[in-house]
């Protein structure tokens, strides 16, 4: 398969790489954006939209949707692509018992028909936060029973018992991102594992065969096209239903640099290839993120 990615970026120390025109977005500020921000603030909630500096925040918040991030804003993992703040045993805080109700209230105020809930990794907790996640889903179901729920989870320590706790109140879509190709895991996700991520997705189907599973990839980190195709094969082998592919963008100078900007044409080829392999939905474009167009994926 022909590689339509741009050549590897060259850079001098201290210089900024200019983004190609297809990655430019308008700054947020619409009435819908401001209203969503107000509801998030009023309920003292965190969103991955802000913490991960998502380029789609203006579009999504303008349409009164947000991806809520529970269990605090400090993460126990140290992924080299992510701008979420890192926690230590000294800085990590206990879970807020009223957080599930606050998230549910924000969903009600926004009158959402589809919501995405994600979290930081909390490896310090005995169940990695699985029970708290389940309680949040339960709280949303109680006051917004018609709202579809997507849960973007971490690997829960790779333990089936934690996944079983989480699935006591199952979402409509269970999402867990493999993020990158196996060869780059030590650079990109040094405290996570590719096989562990696949096992979480596979185990979810074993526990609850009817659940829709979803995973996502970033590209532009130095992967080859053939490696992306191989990840697609692995995900389909484990019966993953939905795939998202988007361009990695460096949140700040503290994260690993972009190696390549992938062209829209190559993203379209990834989409075509994924659909041929049997994914029910493939969102593949430069600005696609895990929860982009998530409402379409609740089959």
- The CATH architecture assigned to 21-297 reads Alpha-Beta Barrel (3.20)
Of 297 and 233, the structure prediction assigns the larger pLDDT to: 233
Point out the least confidently predicted range of 10-19, 120-129, 220-229, 285-294. 10-19
- Could you give the percent of the chain with pLDDT greater than 70? 85
pLDDT exceeds cutoff 50 at 3: no
Residue 214 pLDDT greater than 70, yes or no: yes
Greatest CA separation found in the chain?
Answer: 55
Pairing of strands 46-47, 67-70: antiparallel
Question: How much is the pLDDT for 240?
Answer: 98
Full-model pTM: 0.86
3-state secondary structure of 242: strand
Whether 29 shows a pLDDT value over 90: the answer reads: no
Reported as a single tens digit per residue, the pLDDT across 270-283 is: 999 999 999 999 99
Q: What is the per-residue pLDDT for 17?
A: 65
**β-pair type (67-70, 114-119):** parallel
Chain centre to alpha carbon of residue 196: 17
Assess whether pLDDT exceeds 90 at residue 14. Answer: no
CB atoms within 10 A of CB 134: 20
Contact 285, 264 (CB under 8 A): yes
- Sequence-distant (6+) residues with CB within 8 A of 193 are 155, 158, 185
Q: How far apart are the first and last CA of the chain?
A: 31
Q: What is the pLDDT of residue 285?
A: 95
* pLDDT band at residue 296 using 50, 70 and 90 as cut-offs: confident
> What is the model's pLDDT at position 27?
63
pLDDT value of residue 65:
67
Question: pLDDT band at residue 10, thresholds of 50, 70 and 90?
Answer: very low
Question: Quick one: which of 189, 161, 190 has its CA closest to 177?
Answer: 189
How does pLDDT run across 154-210, given as a tens digit for each residue? 999 999 999 999 999 999 999 999 999 999 999 999 889 999 999 999 999 999 999
**39: CB partners within 8 A, 6+ apart:** 106, 109, 110
**pLDDT at res. 253:** 85
Report d(CA 88, CA 123) in Å as an integer: 11
The average confidence (pLDDT) of the chain is 87
- Could you report the per-residue pLDDT of 232-266, keeping only the tens digit for each? 999 999 999 999 999 999 888 889 899 999 999 99
pLDDT reported for residue 298: 76
> In this structure, are residues 40 and 66 in contact, taking their beta carbons and an 8 Å threshold?
yes
User: What is the pLDDT averaged over residues 24-45?
Assistant: 73
What per-residue confidence (pLDDT) applies to 25? 67
**Mean of pLDDT values over 87-96:** 92
Asked if the model's pLDDT at residue 267 lies above 90, the reply is: yes
**For residues 196 and 190, what is the distance between their CA atoms, to the nearest angstrom?**
13
Express each pLDDT in 42-72 by its tens digit.
Answer: 877 777 666 656 666 766 666 666 688 999 9
- The pLDDT score that the predictor gives to residue 170 is 97
């Amino acid at each position: 398969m022909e590689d339509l990615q741009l050549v590897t970026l060259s850079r001098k120390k201290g210089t900024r790489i200019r983004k190609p025109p297809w990655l430019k977005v308008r700054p947020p500020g619409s009435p819908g954006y401001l209203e969503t921000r107000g509801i998030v603030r009023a309920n003292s909630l965190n969103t991955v939209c802000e913490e991960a500096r998502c380029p789609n925040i203006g579009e999504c918040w303008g349409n009164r949707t947000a991806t809520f991030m529970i269990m605090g804003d400090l993460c126990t993992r140290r992924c080299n692509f992510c701008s979420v703040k890192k926690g230590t045993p000294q800085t990590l805080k206990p879970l807020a018992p009223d957080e599930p109700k606050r998230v549910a209230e924000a969903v009600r105020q926004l009158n959402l028909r589809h919501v995405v809930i994600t979290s930081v990794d909390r490896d310090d907790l005995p169940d990695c936060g699985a029970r708290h996640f389940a309680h949040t889903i339960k709280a949303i179901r109680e006051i917004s029973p018609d709202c579809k729920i997507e849960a973007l989870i971490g690997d829960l320590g790779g333990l089936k018992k934690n996944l079983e706790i989480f699935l006591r109140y199952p979402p409509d879509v269970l999402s867990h991102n493999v993020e990158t190709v196996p060869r780059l895991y030590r650079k990109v996700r040094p405290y996570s594992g590719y096989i562990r991520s696949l096992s979480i997705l596979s185990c979810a189907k074993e526990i609850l065969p009817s659940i829709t599973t979803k995973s996502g990839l970033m590209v532009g980190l130095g992967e080859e096209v053939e490696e992306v195709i191989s990840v697609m094969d692995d995900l389909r082998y484990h019966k993953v239903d939905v795939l998202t592919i988007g361009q990695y963008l460096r949140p700040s100078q503290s994260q690993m640099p972009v190696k390549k900007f992938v062209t829209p044409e190559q993203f379209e080829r990834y989409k075509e290839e994924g659909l041929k392999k049997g994914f029910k939905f493939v969102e593949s474009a430069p600005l696609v993120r895990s929860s982009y167009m998530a409402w379409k994926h609740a089959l």
